[in-house]
Amino acid sequence: MKMTDLFLAELEREAAATRRTLERVPDGRYDWKPHEKSMTLGRLAELVARLPSWPVFMINQDELELTIYKAEPLLTSGELVKALDEGVAEAREALANTTDEHLMKPWRLLVGGKVVSEQPRYLALREGVFNHLAHHRGQLTVYLRLNDAPVPAIYGPSADDGSFD
């Protein structure tokens, strides 16, 4: 089996769980945060919505400078889900059109011109997309709970949702 097939399958699984999470983000709470050092609910939800699109950068560019990565704010759960769906479609296409050989080539993440990560693309996908997404989506479920929004089942049932839709 090719790495691209594995990543495509994982993208589909993670997109479904991410969609269920983003659908439950309460509108009008963009600036809410549980602690002064925490991200706002809106910023965290945007990150979760956009991370599945990152394979496009990792496949089609040799590096990404984070300080110039700008995107319009997503202010409603509908906008979050739309961004997720669009990003997943773009990532699906990028993954389908690349090769395992290309995924072995290095990719760099820069912040302020400094390299903060340089690794083969397949590791950047694993760590920078899928592991990173699971981490921040988990944070987002805590934010949902603290805002009295139902927490979806992701890798197992939740207190609010015992199903796996």
- This prediction has a pTM of 0.94
| Residues 35, 114: Cα–Cα separation, whole Å | 29
| Residues 130, 84: Cα–Cα separation, whole Å | 14
pLDDT band of 1, cuts 50, 70, 90: confident
Poorest-pLDDT segment among 69-73, 82-86, 120-124 = 69-73
Angle between helices 3-22 and 132-146 (to 10 degrees): 10
pLDDT for residue 86: 98
pLDDT at 165 over 60: no
Residue 103: CB atoms within 10 A of its CB come to 22
CA 109 to chain centre: 16
Residue 156: CB atoms within 10 A of its CB come to 7
Model pLDDT for residues 89-132, shown as the tens digit of each residue: 999 999 999 999 999 999 999 999 999 999 999 999 999 999 99
Model pLDDT for residues 6-61, shown as the tens digit of each residue: 999 999 999 999 999 999 999 999 999 999 999 999 999 999 999 999 999 999 99
pLDDT (mean) for 150-163: 88
pLDDT for residue 117: 95
pLDDT (mean) for 134-149: 97
pLDDT for residue 164: 57
* 3 state DSSP class of 33: coil
Q: Which amino acid is at 130?
A: F
Q: In sequence order, what E strands does the chain have?
A: 63-65, 106-111, 114-120
Domains contained in the chain, CATH given? 3-146 (1.20.120.450)
pLDDT band of 163, cuts 50, 70, 90: low
Nearest Cα neighbor of 24 from 110, 165, 150 is 150
